[in-house]
Amino acid sequence: MLIGSVQRRWISVAAFVAAVVLLGAGALAQGSLDRRIAAAVEKARLGKASVGVSIFDADSDRELASFSTGESADQSLIPASNLKLITTGAALLTLGPDFEFRTSFVLLGNQLVVEGCGDPALADPDLLSKMQTGVEQFLDRLADSIAAAAKGRVAAVVIDDRVFDRDLVHPLWPTDQLNRAYCAPVCGVNFHRNVLSVFPAPAGRAGDPPSVRTEPAAAWIEFDNQRARTIREGDTAVWIERGGSPWQFRLHGSVRTAPTDAVRVAVREPAPLLGRLLADRLAARQRGPVPEVRMVDPEAPVASGQPGATVAAIVRTPISVVLERCNVDSDNLYAEALLKLTGHHVTRQPGSWSNGSAVVRMIIKDRLGAQHAASTVVSDGSGLARANRVSARTLAAWIANVASDGRVGETYVRSMAVAKEEGTLRRRFRNKTLTNEVRAKSGYINGVRTLSGMVLESSNGGALVGAGNGRRLAFAILVNDIPAGADERAKELHENIVEILDNYINEIRRAAAAGGR
């Protein structure tokens, strides 16, 4: 009996010592996170830049470390495209992971009604390219379906865009950049990412205007190429100016060789563009006059709910595709459509920047608390507007909270780009050896560099540790007021902090392994 008691006591003491060793190593690593992050910020030599950093354990909902150059870790900063992580999280929580966008093409009498749902992916040229098709083929197949379903001649194409308001351009977006693809307007009926793809080609003789091809193409799309020139030396450099009418454009610059990628310009009226292109194709199939194109009467009932209505075609897009384009490729139109749709879904009013932003802040308040919501300003959905504000603490807490949601968490985390592999992070972390998986979103506007996301514990073989077993760290790194010439140092700071988190997880894992021996 005495021997047995001694043995049990020895085993108990040994287990206690192992636990102390394990907890001590973990506390030591955790306690040093603040110091390591502070040292990384100091090493970055960012001068008077404003820096906010916060690290949360996504499973315990506990802040592990924070840093701020301001008076408080709750200092609100411009998030740039990191705001998309708030927008997409709010949309997922509101719409659900199984939601899909549905654009319906409805025949009612002699009218074709395009019932928009705000889908930003409708005929997105990049998505069409992945499917090895193009916008002309997309439009032809759509027109074939409509013509086959029509019992008589289609006399009018009506665009029902009432899911969103008709404020297509955010008032705080840079007015001198509204022709750029990243400032494309946001509509209830989006089409071809609301841009025109332009393919200039050199003329046979230097000095002559280059030729121009567009996708989509139409005789009424006017291109003035007289301000551009063919060159034999130097690099191709062109830009596109929008003319006085929605269908007039001017090419500027020099063309030596045809660009590999399209030059894209935002169109002013994306919904009527789709309507006119469909009307042209229906006229050809009907061998008759081109149908009238008009916007829906605001008081008209929804066409698909009317007696005698026939749905000729439906184009569907899963929300997972929209989330990936938003967070991996950082497409602004996708984020803005999600924000407006979130507002519409909750208020049942046309989605707008106003009601979308109000709903997002309401969700932040419900999930994180009033203080987090009070310090957050949501002006748009993409982060392009400089009026957006969020603290690193709020953003990291938000990422941890949504990632831990049993209904949408996995979809949310998977929507972020994998470091070194995808989207805007494909060229990042090239000089870092990361043991664990990093999924994140980068952000950039003038004077602002941000990176936020998650570090997910992986096994030694690189596979993710099973759910509930591996550590998941949510992080937000916001740098504002970056001095001239310091952009690369700000990006290096992002990567150094993520490397610190990667090492932190490895230290805890090694301590756990040592305690288990």
> What pLDDT digit, counting tens, does each position of 293-344 carry?
999 999 999 999 999 999 999 999 999 999 999 999 999 999 999 999 999 9
* Distance, C-alpha 298 to centroid of its chain: 30
Task: With cut-offs at 50, 70 and 90, classify the pLDDT of residue 32.
Answer: confident
| Whether the predicted pLDDT of 236 surpasses 50 | yes
The answer to whether residue 14 sits within a structural domain is: no
**pLDDT tens per residue, range 194-230:** 999 999 999 999 999 999 999 999 999 999 999 999 9
Structure tokens at 269: 């009226």
CATH assignment at residue 46:
3.40.710.10
* Nearest to 356, CA basis, from 95, 176, 125: 95
510: left (phi over 0), alpha (psi -120 to 50) or beta: alpha
Structure tokens at 368: 């994180």
Beta partners for residue 211, in sequence order: 201
| Residues 115, 53 within the same domain | no
pLDDT confidence of residue 516: 64
| Residues 189, 207 within the same domain | yes
pTM: 0.92
Number of CB atoms found within 10 A of residue 14's CB: 10
* Distance, C-alpha 233 to centroid of its chain: 38
| Residues 477, 375 within the same domain | yes
| Residues 63, 207 within the same domain | no
The answer to whether residue 27 sits within a structural domain is: no
| Whether the predicted pLDDT of 58 surpasses 80 | yes
d(CA 304, CA 347): 22
Sheet with 111-115, strands from edge to edge, namely 292-295, 156-160, 111-115, 100-108, 310-318
The DSSP letter of residue 292 is: E
The answer to whether residue 12 sits within a structural domain is: no
The answer to whether residue 6 sits within a structural domain is: no
The answer to whether residue 69 sits within a structural domain is: yes
| Residues 394, 311 within the same domain | no
The answer to whether residue 19 sits within a structural domain is: no
Structure tokens at 406: 């049993």
The answer to whether residue 17 sits within a structural domain is: no
What is the number of domains present in the chain?
Answer: 2
The DSSP letter of residue 164 is: B
The answer to whether residue 353 sits within a structural domain is: yes
| Residues 120, 259 within the same domain | yes
Domain that holds residue 479: 32-95+323-515
Last-in-domain residue among 269, 296, 322:
322
**C-alpha distances in Å from residue 321, one per residue of 89, 329, 384, 416:** 14, 11, 21, 12
Last-in-domain residue among 271, 290, 322:
322
| Residues 435, 380 within the same domain | yes
Last-in-domain residue among 288, 322, 356:
322
| Whether the predicted pLDDT of 3 surpasses 60 | no
Contact status, residue 337 vs residue 194, Cβ threshold 8 Å: no
| Residues 328, 453 within the same domain | yes
**pLDDT tens per residue, range 130-180:** 999 999 999 999 999 999 999 889 999 999 999 999 999 999 999 999 999
Task: With cut-offs at 50, 70 and 90, classify the pLDDT of residue 25.
Answer: very low
d(CA 155, CA 112): 8
| Residues 419, 305 within the same domain | no
| Residues 227, 313 within the same domain | yes
* Mean per-residue pLDDT over the chain, rounded: 92
| Residues 104, 71 within the same domain | no
Q: For the chain, how big is the Rg over CA atoms in Å? A: 27
d(CA 468, CA 95): 25
Residue 381 neighbours by CB under 8 Å, 6+ apart: 83, 84, 87, 335, 336, 337, 338, 339, 340, 353, 356
Contact status, residue 218 vs residue 275, Cβ threshold 8 Å: no
**C-alpha distances in Å from residue 128, one per residue of 193, 317, 394, 433:** 11, 12, 37, 35
d(CA 182, CA 197): 13
One-letter amino acid of 318: P
* Nearest to 95, CA basis, from 339, 270, 311, 281: 339
| Pairing between β-strand 111-115 and β-strand 156-160 as defined by DSSP bridges | parallel
pLDDT confidence of residue 7: 36
Beta partners for residue 238, in sequence order: 253
| Residues 71, 153 within the same domain | no
Q: Helix-strand-coil percent breakdown of the chain, rounded to 5? A: 40, 25, 35
pLDDT confidence of residue 461: 45
d(CA 48, CA 481): 7
d(CA 425, CA 421): 7
